[in-house]
A and B are shown apart, each in its own frame.
Chain A
Amino acid sequence: MQLSRLFAIVAILVSLLSTSRAFAADDDAGAPADTSAQPGPAPEGSDARAPAPEGEADGGAPVAPEPGETTAPKSTSNITARASIDVGGYADSTATTVLTPSLSGTVESPTAGWAINGRYLVDVVSAASPDIVSTASPHWNEVRHAGNLGFRYKPKTFGVAANASTSYTPDYLSLSAGAQLTQELDDKNLTLVEGYGYGRDTIGRTGTPFSVFSHELEYHSISLGASRVVNQGLVIGLFGDAVLERGDQSKPYRYIPIFTPDVAATIPAGASASLVASSRMQARPLEQLPLERDRFAVTARLAWRGDSTTLRFEERGYTDSWGLRASTTDARYFIDLGRRVMIWPHGRFHVQNGVDFWKRAYSATSVHDLPALRTGDRELGPLFTAGGGGGLRIALGNAGALDDVAFTTTLDGFYTAFSDAIYVKERFSALVTTGLEVRF
C-alpha cells in the first residue's frame, strides 16, 4: 500500500505538470498549426517515435510531411527523454482483481540511434481459486514487483538491442535477459530481425526459503522475423518464435482432485466445489507437469496507414510439445479526431485446444495408480476468449509540441468459455488502463 501511495503522489505531480503545460500553451484556435511530426501514440521501443532529424531521412533526401502537417521546429538538443506513469485495473468474475501501477522512462538520441529505457511495475493481486470462492473462504493477496532495463543502438542500417528483466514475489523469482539484432536492407524497405533470450525462474512457496523448497525452470527463446514495406502506407511482417523450457513449472499450491474411473465419467463441466469435494477420492496430489516444453509460434502482422486512420492486424498461430495448439487474432483501428485526439476500437479472439494430458476429471483406481501428469490449470485446457474495447489518446502539449504530454486510456472486456473444466465454465473480465506520458 505504501507503493500505491507513492504512485498516487507521482501521478498527481505529473498530472499537475501536464495540466499547467497544457493551459500555458496557446489554444489551438489561432495558434500555428501543429508542427509535431508524430501526432499519435509512441509505442515503446519504436524508432518511429523519434522525430526525423531535421526533416531528412537517412539518404539525406527531404521527407515529405503528411497532408496538413508543417515542418517541425529545429530542436536545440538531439537527446530526448520521456517518462510515463501507467495504472491498470483488472477484475473478473472469478473474484480476481489486479492493480498494476508502473513507471517507465526512456532517454534517447534519435539522430545517433541509441536509447536506454526502463520500467518498474507492481502487481497488487487479490484472488481466490474458484473452489475457494464457492466455499466463501477469504481471498489471498500478493504483490509482485517487476522491472526491466533495455538498451538499443542502431546508428545506420544495423542495430543491436539488449534487455534484462526481473520479477519477484515471495514464492516466485524470475530473471531473464536477451539480445536482438536488426538489419535493414533494400533501402530500408526490408528489415530482418533475430533475437535470443535466456531466463531462469525459481518457483517456491511463500514463507519457505528457496533453499529449502523450490523448483527451477530455465528457458531459451529464439526469434526470427522480417518485415517488408509494400507501399507508402502498408507494412507487413512475419515472425517466428521458439521457446524451449526445461524444469518443473508445476504450481506447488495446486492440488488435483482424483476420482475413481466410474465417478470421473460423471463429473460435468463446471462441476461445483461441493460436488467435487463429495465425489473425489481421499488422495489429492499436487499438480505435476512435464519437465520439458518446446513452444513455437508464427505471427503475421500488418500495418496500414490511410489519411487519418491506421489499421493494425495480427494473427498468431501456436503449437507446443504438450499438444496445445492455439490461434490468436488481434486488431486495432486508430482514428484521428483532429490533431489532439485519437480513438481506436480493439478486438481480440483466442482459441485453443487442451494439452495432451488434460482431463476434466483425473481418475485412478487407488493412490498407487495416480496419473503421472495432471493439472488443474484451466489455461491448459480447451477454451476460447473473445474480447473487445477501445482506447482514447489526448495530446496535451503546447501548440507546436502537442505530444510532449499525452494522456491515454483504454477499456477492454473479455469473455472466456472453458468447455471442459471443473469449477468454472465461463469468465467475464475487464481491464482499464490509464497512462500519462511527458516528453522533455
Chain B
Amino acid sequence: MTSRTLGNGALVTLVAFALSALPLAGCTHVKPWERGKLAHPTMAGPNLPGPAEEHVYSVQEGAVGGGASAESGCGCN
C-alpha cells in the first residue's frame, strides 16, 4: 500500500469523524420511556466480534484500540 493510499485512508477517517459529529447539532433529549430502540441488544456494547474474531484482527492488523465503550441509552437500571 502506498503512502498516497494511506493518506486517502486518513482522509476517510477524518471525514467519518466529522460526519459522526454532525448529528450532535441536532441532539434531542430522549426520555427514559422513549428508549425502546436504544435498549435493543444490537445497539449496545463494542464487543460484537467474539473472541475468535477479535483474535484474528489482533493478529492480522498492526493497529490496536477501540475496545472502550460507553453506552447511553437503555436505562436498564
Residues of A within 8 A of B (CB): 37-53, 57-59, 61-66, 69, 86, 88-90, 98, 100, 102, 110-113, 119, 121, 123, 154-156, 180, 182, 184, 186-193, 195, 223-239, 241, 243, 295-303, 305-306, 310, 312, 314-318, 324-329, 332, 334, 342, 348, 350-353, 355, 379-380, 382-385, 410, 412, 414, 416-417, 419, 429, 431, 433, 435
Contact = CB atoms under 8 A, between A and B. Distances in A.
Contacts of B10: 317, 325, 327
Contacts of B35: 57, 63, 232
B56 to A, nearest CB: 6
B3 to A, nearest CB: 6
Given A44-B45, A385-B61, A431-B52, A61 B32 contact: yes
Of the candidates B35, B53, B64, B76, the one having the most CB atoms from chain A within 10 angstroms of its own CB is B76
Given A297-B64, A385-B60, A419-B1, 18 more contacts: A45-B69, A53-B76, A61-B33, A186-B29, A187-B31, A187-B32, A188-B32, A189-B72, A225-B69, A231-B28, A235-B72, A239-B70, A241-B65, A295-B63, A298-B17, A317-B17, A328-B61, A431-B52
Contacts of A182: 70
Nearest to A419: B1
Contacts of A236: 20-21, 23-24
Chain A contact surface mostly: strand
A121 B50 CA distance: 11
24 contacts: A38-B40, A40-B41, A43-B47, A46-B71, A47-B44, A47-B76, A48-B38, A48-B41, A57-B33, A66-B37, A188-B73, A234-B23, A235-B43, A236-B20, A297-B64, A305-B42, A312-B42, A316-B13, A316-B63, A318-B65, A353-B6, A385-B61, A419-B2, A431-B52
A231 B30 contact: yes
Contacts, number: 328
A61 B50 CA distance: 35
Contacts of A156: 77
A43 B37 contact: no
Interface in B7-35: 9-10, 12-14, 16-17, 20-21, 23-24, 26-35
Interface of B is mostly: loop
A89 B67 CA distance: 23
A305 B42 CA distance: 8
A64 B71 contact: no
B77 A113 contact: yes
B68 A180 contact: yes
B69 A332 contact: no
Contacts of B59: 379
A226 B77 CA distance: 19
Contacts of B14: 317
Nearest to B29: A189
Of B23, B45, B69, the most chain A CB neighbours within 10 A belong to B69
A100 B71 contact: no
Contacts of B46: 43, 45, 301, 314
Contact of B76 (A48, A66, A329, A419): A48
Given A86-B51, A312-B48, A352-B62, A226 B70 contact: yes
B54 to A, nearest CB: 10
B39 to A, nearest CB: 5
Contacts of A64: 33-34, 36
A102 B3 CA distance: 39
Contact of A310 (B40, B72, B74): B40
Given A236-B23, A385-B60, A52 B39 contact: yes
B43 A310 contact: yes
A351 B12 CA distance: 11
Contacts of B61: 326, 328, 350, 352, 379, 385
B23 to A, nearest CB: 4
Contacts of A223: 65, 67-68
Contacts of B51: 86, 88, 100, 102, 119, 121
Given A57-B33, A382-B1, A110 B76 contact: yes
Contacts of A310: 40, 42-43
A352 B63 contact: yes
A278 B66 CA distance: 43
A250 to B, nearest CB: 15
A287 B25 CA distance: 50
Contact of A230 (B9, B24, B40, B66): B24
